[in-house]
Structure 1
Amino acid sequence: MIPAKRIHTVEEYYFSRKLREVRSLVAKGKPIINLGIGSPDLQPPTVVVDALEASLHDETAHKYQSYQGIPELRNAIADFYQKNYQVSLDAATEVLPLMGSKEGIMHISMAYLDEGDEVLIANPGYPTYTSVTKLLGAIPKYYDLDAESDWLPNLEKLAKEDLSKVKLMWINYPHMPTGAKASKSFFKDIITFAKKHEILIINDNPYSFILNDEPLSILSIEGAKDVALELNSLSKSFNMAGWRTGMVMGKARHIQHVLKVKSNMDSGMFYGIQKGAIKALERSSDWFTTLNNIYEKRRKLIWELATKLHCKFDAETSGMFVWAKLPKENTLSSEAFVDKLLYEKDVFITPGSIFGTQGEGYVRFSLCVTEEKIKEVINRIEA
């Protein structure tokens, strides 16, 4: 059978392919240390697991669930946004739980994009924005980010381009992979830009509590709900990546469009996961303090490692990665540099080039490994 033409517009996800290679090396006895993936190695809050276990005995636990999530979860999300971002949301109409925010990227795109529509996507940026756009027959329109502009888009330059076919614009602050942060001033500017050009902005915001003293939501800006949605997730903030629990927030009419797609794609999130998510969202700020104390120690060691590799980095960024520029004397591509480290030192990191052409010349280190393992990597580099 011949597959759909859309399959030829994308490639297998880099980590799907590369981790298969890494597992093959491990199977051969190689002591690989993986600093490439942003999958938290720490445990979720104990109360989250307890809530999941306790929920299994509820009458409704094993039935189909609401496409919109149980009311208690939507209320918990709204309360969390009010407490942590000072954003008021109507839990009944402006909140939609998702089975991971990655699901939301597809659902939002399916709700708004027709074949031939254009989508503004950051370079460097999360590859899934491009993949989903192409799968739907829409056209990626990249905007370059660089260190000189603090990895923020040049809206004045963008405004001079033909944006007549642009329907969506993906932004992601705190930014992955660079860790750059956005300000309220920037969010105000991009809301003005979106209104002028009739573009729906989606801020993908899963990293705002990791090594960041001022969590910020685009929805805290006056008028944002008219032209913006925000994705968020429990994956990074609460060490629940495998639970696949996310959410999208915004104006009721936007959420309704997304729900129309979602309700035709799944049959609701498992009840126990929803009950666990509620307990996570109810945690006090002490949880983030404890979590960030661990990540801060790891980050200092990663900075030491990057320095040993003669890479340069910005110490003012946030998130669970360190984005580092390869040394000037390096003559290898990012991928070749990573492969050399993998095969000579049994260490895997991520090449910046997989995030776009603007990522060439950079590498990314994950903080999702123990201090002991990072120290072991440092020892291998020194050796």
Structure 2
Amino acid sequence: MIEVANRLKYVEEYYFSKKLKEVAELKTNGKPIINLGIGSPDLPPNALVILAMVNSLNDDNAHQYQSYTGLPKLRLALSQFYNKHFKVDVNPETEILPLMGSKEGIMHISMAFLNKGDEVLIPNPGYPTYEALTKLVEAKIVKYNLTESNKWFPNLEELEQQDLSKVKLMWLNYPNMPTGAQATEEQLEQLVVFALKHNILLVNDNPYSFILNNNKLSLLSVKNANKCCLELNSLSKTFNLSGWRVGFVLGNEQFIKAILKVKSNMDSGMFYSIQKGAIAALSAPIDWLNVLNEIYKKRRNLVWQIADKLNCTYNKTTAGLFVWAKLPKGELSEDFSDNLLYNNDLFVTPGTVFGTNGEGYIRFSLCVNQTDLKETLNRLS
């Protein structure tokens, strides 16, 4: 038997990879499972996006290897998009790197900047991939607390009491997943000051700004952010293109060059026609997003009713694709989730998937049609 690498001893299979196998098996056995746990947009993208992709299939060189840095028109469209919606100016030639999804970018950034033993500040609760990929590059995880009492924002005074001399990188995610919390401009400014003081690379993962959110902010809009910050973004949630795998990272030229050294050795460029579709998405009228958000509003109202049925509490001012709900006192997240799965044929995500501070919470996805949400309400009546 050939042994696997030691790094795999410290990394588990992704929670949803395992749990969805169980859900699929229950469905195969005839269980009418309604999946309220996964943030994979179920609605189609703008028809103009699909048309642009199809029309490009016969273009010259469409099926050849593409540039590691993406089509110039894609980088330009990304730059114009950030200028229009975030008032952030980035050079499309040197400060933007398209990615095959922002998840890929988390790995590339980790490989580009972290050495074995470097410390990484990771939110608790937070996206599990931050922790898993930190382990894979053999860096050291240092969790920082996000709590409801502090509105799911890091307690910088608490962090200042710690030894930060070995911290190289800090992951942020605003609007936040799983909680939906939003950071203010003042809070982002505080984070940049903190990062500059301690020579920490600050990375904001920002894929939820356009979903049920009236306060669109980019970390890169903050003064001096270009000295210590990167921002990841994605077309997955905003434009219903999760399966297309289109993301990007923005930051100063030296940071982007470092990431490109990793990326250019791991892929051979994004498929041409996907890039053409992405350009169409970024250039489309904003009206399409407004229609999308009206659908999500109706779904969210139903999810709030579901949470009420379960005697959960929640914040109605949050943003993003999820509803983060606090369980009745004494209930444990995984037990509560499993009880709904086995007794009501409903899958919701237990908060502990995202860290110990997720205990006592569950997460509902809005990527569920109204028919299934109404059926969920019926099952709980």
* TM-based fold match above 0.5: yes
| Structure 1 counterpart of 2:341 | 342
Q: CA deviation at 1:195?
A: 0.3
Cross-structure match for 1:159: 160
**Number of aligned positions between the proteins:** 380
**What is the match of residue 257 of structure 1?**
258
CA distance in 2, matches of 1:360, 1:53: 46
Residue in 2 that maps onto 1:49: 50
Q: What are the equivalent positions in structure 2 for 1:171-210 lying under 5 Å apart?
A: 171-210=172-211
Paired with 2:32 and 2:196, the residues of 1 have a C-alpha distance of: 52
Residue type at the aligned position of 1:174: P
Deviation for aligned residue 1:214:
1.6
SS of equivalent to 1:297: helix
Return the letter of the residue paired with 1:340.
N
Query: Which residue of structure 1 aligns with residue 128 of structure 2?
Result: 127
C-alpha separation in 2, matches of 1:70 and 1:289: 28
The RMSD of aligned alpha carbons is 0.6
Q: 1:288 deviation in Å?
A: 1.7
**Equivalent runs, 1:67-216 vs 2, <5 Å:** 67-216=68-217
| C-alpha distance after superposition, 1:273-320 (max 9, x if no partner) | 000000000022212211110000000000000000000000010001
Segments of 4+ in structure 1 off by > 2 A? none
- Unmatched segments (≥5 aa) in structure 1: none
TM-score (norm 1): 0.99
Write out per-residue CA displacement over residues 305-351 of structure 1, whole angstroms, 9 at most, x where no aligned residue. 000000000001000100000012x44x2111101000100000000
**Cα deviation, residue 157, structure 1:** 1.2
Which residue is 1:366 aligned to? 365
Q: Pairwise mapping of residues 297-308 of structure 1 onto structure 2 (< 5 A)?
A: 297-308=298-309
Write the distance in 1 (CA, Å) between the matches of 2:57 and 2:192: 43
- The secondary structure found in structure 2 opposite 1:203 is strand
Give 1:156 shift.
1.5
Q: How far apart in 1 are the matches of 2:136 and 2:215?
A: 36
Q: Secondary structure at the match of 1:236?
A: coil
Deviation (angstroms), 1:243? 0.3
Q: Secondary structure at the match of 2:91?
A: coil
State which drifts further: 282-291 or 10-19. Answer: 282-291
In the alignment, the residues of structure 2 paired with residue 60 and residue 109 of structure 1 have an alpha-carbon distance, to the nearest angstrom, of 33
Q: CA deviation at 1:78?
A: 0.1
Distance across 1 between alignment mates of 2:289 and 2:206: 16
CA distance in 2, matches of 1:14, 1:288: 30
- Identical-pair percentage: 59
Q: Which runs of 5+ in 2 are unaligned?
A: none
After superposition, what is the alpha-carbon deviation per residue over 1:88-135, rounded to whole angstroms, capped at 9, x for unaligned? 010000000000000000000000000000000000000000000001
Amino acid in the other structure paired with 2:270? M
Equivalences for residues 218-237 of structure 1 within 5 A: 218-237=219-238
Could you tell me which amino acid in structure 2 is paired with residue 100 of structure 1? Answer: G
SS in 1 for 2:374: helix
Distance (whole Å) between structure 1 residues aligned to residue 341 and residue 158 of structure 2: 39
Aligned to 1:22: 23
